[in-house]
Amino acid sequence: MAVDADQLVPLLGHRSDEPEVEAAFVELRTRRRPELDPEDPDALRDWVLVRRQGVELGFIDEAYFNADKEWRRRRNLSSLILYQVYFYTAYKDVAQFTGKLPFGLEWSDDRKEVRRKLHDRKQFLRSYRRDAWELPQFWMTVSYKKANKSVDSVVCQIDLKPWPEDGRLQPNLTVGDWLELLGLPATAMNLRQRIRPLDLAQRIADEEDEGEVNFRYECGLELVFTAARNLKGPYRTRLGRRPPETLVLGAVRFFRSRGLDARQWNGELPFGLAFDDSQRSSQAKIRRKPDEQKDDDLDGYAEWRFREYSLHVMYDNMKNRLLRISIMAPGFD
């Protein structure tokens, strides 16, 4: 007998060793259980694909999911949080899910019919290549086959918890302030003072890569340095008499919550952008087509090149929201 989506989706957020989750494994008739790779210290996720049922369950380390202290991660390699449930149509050696899909969806539904069935939840809808609903309990993303004529897959998932605000260290700078700092060397007192309470000198001394200075945990910020000769226009003149090989600030990156494990940047962003903007709403705010844009399956980016700087926006093609926003000096690549 087929397992229905409403037997699996309510388990999102539960631990893999809870009786209800174990019962789901039994119902799916799989002996596979999630476990983090003991040989890979960076492994924090595992997936259980049940090919005969057309279902895949995604699990994540409990401490990582809860934004707990880093030393608590991977303490128990087999006690994980269920945070994704995929339902598939037939593909290669994966059978089609034959249980009932969420909200009465059918594999034969076209995009218009899917939206009709979720019409009373249209306020949660974000559309781009896929349709994604940010529902109160979970996200649901529907992918479509060619020409949107039928459903290809459905995924229900929950977000990782954000880092607590306690412990945030963040400079109070506007977009204009950041533009004034582009082109300055890492040793410039103006740069070091303006980004306080962050300690640039100490972080550079602590990190191996002097090109990327990571403040993602403190406030969702990354400073990227490049040789001055790579920059164009007025930014090159800020060096004074220093040699062109001097590393100068070439780009500033702002991250959404838990992107590369970051605390979300909550300061000013260009054009009033927000991380909850979709691909379309972000471009509407900028009011100009991007100079460059590329979409991959799971994410994509758009880039605008203005006289004073370039704006690079990376977005999520599963949840249709922004992932990272970068301000770059002209010439920075």
pLDDT digits (tens, 9 = 90+) for 199-224: 999 999 998 777 999 999 999 999 99
Same domain assignment for residues 15 and 150: yes
Rounded-to-integer distance, Cα 98 and Cα 5, Å:
10
What are the distances in angstroms from CA 317 to CA 149, 243, 322? 19, 42, 9
Instruction: Give me the pLDDT at residue 238, please.
Output: 67
End residue of a domain, out of 128, 157, 186: 157
Would residue 170 count as lying in a domain? Answer: no
Same domain assignment for residues 89 and 193: no
Vertex 94, ends 89 and 98: CA angle to 5°?
45
Would residue 146 count as lying in a domain? Answer: yes
The token duo for 33 is 């259980």
What 3-state class would DSSP assign to 72? helix
Rounded-to-integer distance, Cα 270 and Cα 100, Å:
44
The token duo for 311 is 């704006």
The predicted-structure confidence for 15-42, as pLDDT tens digits, reads as follows 999 999 999 999 999 999 999 999 999 9
What 3-state class would DSSP assign to 241? coil
pLDDT by residue for the chain (333 residues), tens only, comes to 789 999 999 999 999 999 999 999 999 999 999 999 999 999 999 999 999 999 999 999 999 999 999 999 999 998 899 999 999 999 999 999 999 999 999 999 999 999 999 999 999 999 999 999 999 999 999 999 999 999 999 999 999 999 999 989 999 999 999 999 999 999 999 999 999 999 999 999 998 777 999 999 999 999 999 999 898 877 666 666 678 888 999 999 999 999 999 999 999 999 999 999 999 999 999 999 999 999 999 999 999 999 999 999 999 999 999 999 999 999 998
Would residue 165 count as lying in a domain? Answer: no
Instruction: Give me the pLDDT at residue 235, please.
Output: 67
Same domain assignment for residues 230 and 101: no
Rounded-to-integer distance, Cα 264 and Cα 19, Å:
34
Same domain assignment for residues 86 and 203: no
Instruction: Measure CA of the first residue to CA of the last residue in the chain; give whole Å.
Output: 55
Would residue 248 count as lying in a domain? Answer: yes
Instruction: Give me the pLDDT at residue 233, please.
Output: 72
Same domain assignment for residues 231 and 296: yes
Is 18:12 a contact under the CB 8 Å cutoff?
A: no
Range of the domain at 22: 5-157
Same domain assignment for residues 260 and 212: yes
Same domain assignment for residues 147 and 182: no
Same domain assignment for residues 112 and 189: no
**Structural domains in the chain (count):** 2
Same domain assignment for residues 322 and 184: yes
Same domain assignment for residues 180 and 320: yes
Query: Which value, in Å, is the radius of gyration of the alpha carbons in the chain?
Result: 23
End residue of a domain, out of 106, 131, 157: 157
Instruction: Give me the pLDDT at residue 333, please.
Output: 81
Would residue 168 count as lying in a domain? Answer: no
Would residue 35 count as lying in a domain? Answer: yes
Same domain assignment for residues 110 and 208: no
End residue of a domain, out of 157, 186, 214: 157
Same domain assignment for residues 184 and 108: no
Among all chains, which residue has been given the structure tokens 């210290």? 41
Q: Can you give the pTM of this predicted structure?
A: 0.95
Would residue 333 count as lying in a domain? Answer: no
Would residue 167 count as lying in a domain? Answer: no
